[in-house]
A and B are shown apart, each in its own frame.
Chain A
Amino acid sequence: MKPDHVAVSVRREALPAWLLLAPFLLVFTLFFAVPALETLWLSLTESSLTRTNAFVGLDNYHTLLNDPSFWDSVGTTFYFALLTVIPLCAVGLVMALLVDRFSRFQGLLQGAFFLPYVLPISVMTLIADWMLQPSSGIVNHLLGGERAWLADPHWALPAVAIGTVWWTVGFNMLLFLAGLRNIPRELYEAAALDGARGFTLFRTITWPALRPVASTALILQLIASLKVFGQTYILTSGGPFNTSRVTLHYMYETAFTQSDAGYAAAIAMAFVAIVVMLSLLQAGIVRWLAGRHA
């Protein structure tokens, strides 16, 4: 197309384009852009849930740095990430390999592994709560004893983590499965001709091809795990003794129980900063590891 042609079409297409964009821009502005800026603004004020009061500069952030409850919640969130990120990726990888290996049973295996991922969170928490019930729960029946898992400071968070692995691992399996499907079959045939078998095939072909998928899965999972809230809120209410109160839960309590919207907004900002920094850090580590293997 000649330049004057482009200029004409830019003018002719501008109006329809903005009309087509209008609905999106409206909801995007009202329910994303403005709230995003408002979070920043609120964090610099002393505000309640219903009114915005004085501008207080960085006071909320100053309080935040010296607030042991906040740092405890960050520690709990990290612990949850530690308990879930690697298991979710590892189990997802194993499931994908099994679905791929037993392709005759693909429908059954993939369906069973992925189904929990499409269920509402409270279906998982209701079943987990019943299974972990101290006196008549099936877990205590199988293991013996009458441990109150969700009321035990050492076990509450690991128990929620196990429920989370069951609930969400299906998505990671899908990622790895898509990665596996992209590996040319000829590679395996050629390697088999060279006498490679079993684990050697995995080590020399499958794993190198899956490594980029694995690093993507690790990043996505880290972000998802840091954003934990519903599972702990429903199953333990953050207890016992706040040992399972994660950062988003602390933010929720600050905003909606204490009605301290300004401080809650500061927590939200700090939370976003932590998520971004950790994702970048993890991406850096993964890349560094990949570079060493290359």
Chain B
Amino acid sequence: MNGRSSIGWTLVAGACAILLLVLWTAPLLWALSTALRPELETVSRQFHWLPQSWTLEAFAKTLGAGKLLRWLFNSFFVALAVTLATMAISLMAAYAFSQLRFRGRNIVFGVAMLGFLLPFEALLVPLFRTMNQLGMINTYAGIVLPQVVAPVVIYVFKQFFDAIPADFREAATMDGAGPLRVLWSVYLPISGNIVWAMAIVTFIAAWNNFLWPFIVVTSNEMMTIPLGLTQTYDAFGVRYAQLMAAALLGALPVALAYAVFQRRVTQGFLAASGLK
């Protein structure tokens, strides 16, 4: 619509854009402004947009006192494990569904796609009971395993593999290469974009997962960032400068990932909605 709308419309649209931009950035900027104050300033009756005396005290205290570093490590480890496992499992399954012929293929694929329909929330109670029986409460395995079931990732990869011309595989199979080898050396290299996009989105989703760690983790030591940050009143008390510092430190890794991989992140989230 560029250049063809009237000046009046452009002004209205511009005002809307600025208003929304302010509303959507203000909370994070306000959190930053709070985190850079001494704790006393946050309870002062005097209101100031910016810190009266700037300090990194809140960040230092947050990193030093609480379990924040431990939670960051847990999140990183869990998200990485979920991502690697999900990619490996889903690539192999998608390749089989897309390229190999075997009896029952359509039925198995159909059942797997039921995972789309049933919300994870409906499985919480039996999943907790299972983990309890397996002794996986408060373990990394317990946090990671249910998160690697990702029918939507298989669906996206299968769609992608379906679109690759059959000559590709036939040429490789002629050379006597087995399926895993063909997947690894023929299909993976040309799927780089979509694999990266899904990997980044899986990582972010696992990093942000609140519900499952909330159910399967009870010890402070094993908490991930989204869960740990809800315990900060216990960890830091009602100290808003430190709470905001903790929130920003917890946000930083995913915010950075988004900043660096912006295009892939948006591409991945769109693909993961199953809509493309």
B154: Cβ under 8 A from any A Cβ: yes
Which B residues are CB-close (under 8 A) to A248?
Answer: 121
B195: Cβ under 8 A from any A Cβ: no
Number of interface residues of A (CB under 8 A): 97
Which B residues are CB-close (under 8 A) to A122?
Answer: 210, 225-230, 247, 250
* Complexed CA–CA distance, A107 and B239 (Å): 35
A16: Cβ under 8 A from any B Cβ: yes
* Complexed CA–CA distance, A23 and B25 (Å): 43
* Complexed CA–CA distance, A25 and B104 (Å): 13
Contacting B at CB under 8 A, from A250-269, are: 251-252, 255-256, 261, 264-265, 268-269
B172: Cβ under 8 A from any A Cβ: no
From B89, B111, B232, contact of A27 by CB (8 A):
B89
Per-position binary interface string of chain A over residues 168-193, scored 1 when its CB falls under 8 Å from any chain B CB and 0 otherwise: 00010011001000000000100010
The main secondary structure of chain A at its interface with chain B is helix
A76: Cβ under 8 A from any B Cβ: no
* Complexed CA–CA distance, A16 and B169 (Å): 15
Say whether B229 contacts A268, CB under 8 Å. no
Which A residues are CB-close (under 8 A) to B246?
Answer: 126
Which B residues are CB-close (under 8 A) to A252?
Answer: 124
* Complexed CA–CA distance, A252 and B117 (Å): 21
Which B residues are CB-close (under 8 A) to A115?
Answer: 24, 28, 255, 258
Say whether A133 contacts B1, CB under 8 Å. no
Per-position binary interface string of chain B over residues 16-39, scored 1 when its CB falls under 8 Å from any chain A CB and 0 otherwise: 110011011101101100100000
* Complexed CA–CA distance, A255 and B207 (Å): 25
With A17-B102, A94-B20, A166-B27 known as contacts, the answer to whether A130 contacts B34 (CB < 8 A) is yes
From B100, B103, B269, contact of A20 by CB (8 A):
B100
A209: Cβ under 8 A from any B Cβ: no
Which A residues are CB-close (under 8 A) to B148?
Answer: 27
A6: Cβ under 8 A from any B Cβ: yes
The chain B residue sitting closest to A124, CB to CB, is B27
The chain A residue sitting closest to B10, CB to CB, is A101
A216: Cβ under 8 A from any B Cβ: yes
Per-position binary interface string of chain B over residues 201-216, scored 1 when its CB falls under 8 Å from any chain A CB and 0 otherwise: 0001001101100110
From B122, B226, B228, B270, contact of A36 by CB (8 A):
B122
Which A residues are CB-close (under 8 A) to B111?
Answer: 33
* Complexed CA–CA distance, A30 and B148 (Å): 11
A287: Cβ under 8 A from any B Cβ: no
Q: How large is the interface on B (under 10, 10 to 19, 20 to 34, 35 or more residues)?
A: 35 or more
From A49, A103, A118, contact of B2 by CB (8 A):
A103
Say whether B154 contacts A272, CB under 8 Å. no
From B13, B123, B124, B273, contact of A101 by CB (8 A):
B13
Contacting B at CB under 8 A, from A17-56, are: 17-18, 20-21, 23-25, 27-28, 30-36, 38-39, 42, 49-50
With A24-B112, A118-B204, A118-B255 known as contacts, the answer to whether A234 contacts B230 (CB < 8 A) is yes
Say whether A136 contacts B42, CB under 8 Å. yes
B43: Cβ under 8 A from any A Cβ: yes
Which A residues are CB-close (under 8 A) to B63?
Answer: none
With A6-B101, A122-B230 known as contacts, the answer to whether A28 contacts B112 (CB < 8 A) is yes
* Complexed CA–CA distance, A166 and B134 (Å): 39
Say whether B102 contacts A18, CB under 8 Å. yes
Which A residues are CB-close (under 8 A) to B229?
Answer: 120, 122-123, 126
With A20-B95, A130-B240 known as contacts, the answer to whether A32 contacts B115 (CB < 8 A) is yes
The chain A residue sitting closest to B111, CB to CB, is A33
A59: Cβ under 8 A from any B Cβ: no
Say whether A130 contacts B244, CB under 8 Å. yes
**22 A–B pairs (Cβ distance < 8 Å), ordered by A:** A13-B179, A14-B100, A17-B105, A20-B100, A27-B145, A28-B115, A32-B115, A39-B125, A49-B125, A103-B2, A109-B17, A111-B259, A120-B210, A120-B225, A120-B226, A120-B251, A122-B226, A133-B240, A175-B270, A248-B121, A251-B121, A256-B128
Q: Other CB < 8 Å A-B pairs besides A28-B112, A136-B45, 8 of them?
A: A17-B102, A21-B97, A30-B130, A121-B208, A175-B275, A178-B270, A264-B125, A265-B125
B interface residue numbers (CB < 8 A to A): 1-2, 4-6, 8-9, 13-14, 16-17, 20-21, 23-25, 27-28, 30-31, 34, 42-45, 47, 88-90, 92-93, 95-97, 100-103, 105, 108, 111-112, 115, 117-119, 121-130, 132, 145-146, 148-149, 151, 154, 178-180, 183, 204, 207-208, 210-211, 214-215, 225-230, 232, 240, 243-244, 246-248, 250-251, 254-255, 257-259, 262, 265-266, 269-270, 273, 275
> Which 8 pairs, one residue from A and one from B, show the smallest C-beta to C-beta distance?
A122-B229, A38-B126, A120-B226, A24-B93, A17-B100, A35-B126, A20-B96, A14-B102
A interface residue numbers (CB < 8 A to B): 6, 9-10, 13-14, 16-18, 20-21, 23-25, 27-28, 30-36, 38-39, 42, 49-50, 91, 94-95, 97-98, 100-103, 105, 107-123, 125-128, 130-131, 133, 136, 138, 141, 166, 171, 174-175, 178, 188, 192, 197-199, 201, 206, 216, 220, 223, 227, 229-230, 234, 248, 251-252, 255-256, 261, 264-265, 268-269, 271-272, 275-276
